[in-house]
Structures are given as C-alpha cells and as structure tokens.
Amino acid sequence: MKCIDFDKEFRYYLHQWMQKNNKKYKNMDAMEAAMPDVYRTFLDTPADFLAGKKPGEYFDTFTDPKQLVNWMEDYIKQRVPVPDMLLNRISALGLESEGPLVNLLQKERATSEIKMCAITLLREIDSAAPLDLYVSMQLNRGFEDQDELADNALESLGSLGERAKDAVRTAFDKANDAGKECLLSLLCDDTPDESLIQQSIALLQAHPERAAILSDYVSRLGDERAIPFLQHLAADEDTGYLDYIELRSAIEKLGGDAPEREFTENDPAYEALRSLDQLNRKPE
C-alpha cells in the first residue's frame, strides 16, 4: 500500500495558511494557539493529494483490518510517520482487528516499534488474546534494562484487570526477581495469599537497593510482618534520603513507627531538595 506522508502534507498546508493569515495575528503565540483549529480544518478539507478525499476520512473507506494492520507495518518499515487516522481506524474496528494485530505481535521479524504499536492498539480494543504473551515478557526481565516493549505489555496486563489476575499470580512464582517486581505492581492491591507476602518480603530483603519501589508494594500488601525489616532498612546509614522517605511512608502505612534520621549535605538528594525548598520559600 502507498504510504502517504500526512505530516508532510500538513506542513505544506500550514505553510500556505501562515502566508495567508500571518497579518491576522499579533504574535507567534496567538498563531500557535490557532493550530488545533487549523489541523481540524486540514482534516476536513478535500485534498488534491488524496484525489479530493478528506484526510480525516481517508482511512474510513477501508474495512479490511488485515489490510489496515499491514499498512501500519509498511508505514513503520518505510519510516513514514504513521497517521493517527490509520491507527484510529484500526482501533475503531474493535475486535475485528484482534487477529491481525496478534499475528503482527507474534511475527518474529517485526521490529520493537511495530510490536509497540500492536500492543497499544490491542489494549485500545480491550483484547485479552495476547495475555499469555504479555505474561511471558515479564518472566526474565532485568532491573536495569529499559524494556519499553515489556513495560507496554505490563500496562496491558494491568488494563485487563480480573481477566489477567490468575495468570499474573501464577507467573509471579516463575519469574526472576526483576520480573517479580513488575508483576507485584499488579498484585499488591489485591487480597494477598501467604506465599505472595513471604516472597515479596524476601524480594525486598534480597534487593535493598530497590527499597523505594518495593517498600511501597510490600506496604500495600498490608502485612505487619514486613515492618521490622522496613525499619531496619530505614535506620541503615547507607539508606539515602529518598529511599528513607519511601520506607517511612511504607512503615507508617502498615501502622509502625519509622526510626528518626538526620541527613546532611553529604546526601546529594537531601541537599538538592533542601536547596529547592529554600528557593521556593517566599520572603515574609
């Protein structure tokens, strides 16, 4: 399919519009404020580059979801900006688009960018079909890895709610520690079982450097047995100011008392926040 660069066409339209209308506006800020209306007009105006069709309605004439999904893939492969109108059309077809999108997500040679689009669209149409695939992407993660694809899949798992709950809980037992942390973000607000509580506390004990995020998850599980270790971490002189704040919040959420700590300029985070607070204070 031909991949029309709608962004390029809009820039051309905008250039012409600015030449015709620049004297109507006092400054660039006023002109920029008109941009949303200009774009809406562009979408609703028959265009020569579309043989007289309106850009905003162009993709609405296509009804085959497989064709539309393949078209989206071609756009990305050819490095032409994917039109929002194409993505909106795929989404508007709802579960009719599910099969082609899942096939694209499972396609071995598909790039991460292509799969990211597929996951986002599957979430928009509320599809649970890739549930097992989403879960599998969480099992062997790394704490320091920036895995945007797995993060997007995790967001989709969260959006599935109860439909994903059992699969997420089963996966938690199988996941590595980084995967457990990600899955715990989805499990910590439900009524926990004993194994989940014990594994979560053990996870925090094994990774005190992850205290800021894990202490919040552990506190949301609501089990008071986590308090002693949280207090231990909060009292540790190696625990920085930002981690201490999160630990204190977690301890208090569970009904405990956090140890008092004194921080100095030796803690960069404390000093930065103290300096910012002083800067923001208004003189009396």
Closest CA to 201 of 258, 239, 254: 254
Which residues in 35-71 are b (16+ Cβ under 10 Å) and which e? eeebeeebbeeebeeeeeeebbebbeeeeebeebbeb
| Rounded Cα–Cα distance for residues 242 and 265 (Å) | 13
Domain range for 238 is 208-284
Q: Considering the domain boundaries, does residue 237 fall inside one?
A: yes
Least confident of 161-165, 177-181, 272-276: 272-276
Residue 167 tokens, joined: 């699969």
Residue 271 tokens, joined: 């000093």
Q: Considering the domain boundaries, does residue 110 fall inside one?
A: no
The DSSP secondary structure of 190-254, one letter per residue, reads S---HHHHHHHHHHHHH-GGGHHHHHHHHHHHT-GGGHHHHHHHHH-TTS-HHHHHHHHHHHHHT
State residue 279's pLDDT score: 46
Residue 184 tokens, joined: 């715990």
Q: Considering the domain boundaries, does residue 122 fall inside one?
A: no
- Find the mean pLDDT for residues 88-115: 97
Number of domains the chain contains: 1
Q: Considering the domain boundaries, does residue 162 fall inside one?
A: no
Phi-psi region of 242 (alpha: psi -120 to 50; beta: other; left: phi over 0): alpha
Q: How far is CA 27 from CA 14, 18, 79, in A?
A: 16, 12, 34
- Find the mean pLDDT for residues 246-261: 94
Least confident of 148-152, 195-199, 278-282: 278-282
Better-predicted residue by pLDDT, 282 or 62: 62
Q: Considering the domain boundaries, does residue 269 fall inside one?
A: yes
The CA R_g of the chain, rounded to the nearest whole Å, is 26
Write down the pTM of the prediction.
0.87
Which residue's entry shows tokens 């071609």?
A: 74
Q: Considering the domain boundaries, does residue 23 fall inside one?
A: no
Better-predicted residue by pLDDT, 207 or 29: 207
Residue 3 sits at φ, ψ, to 5 deg, of -100, 95
**Contacts (Cβ under 8 Å, ≥6 apart) of 104:** 69, 73, 110, 114, 115, 118
Q: Considering the domain boundaries, does residue 220 fall inside one?
A: yes
**Contacts (Cβ under 8 Å, ≥6 apart) of 99:** 65, 66
Better-predicted residue by pLDDT, 241 or 176: 176
- pLDDT digits over 176-195, tens only? 999 999 999 999 999 999 99
Q: Considering the domain boundaries, does residue 75 fall inside one?
A: no
- pLDDT digits over 13-53, tens only? 999 998 888 788 878 888 888 899 999 999 999 999 999 99
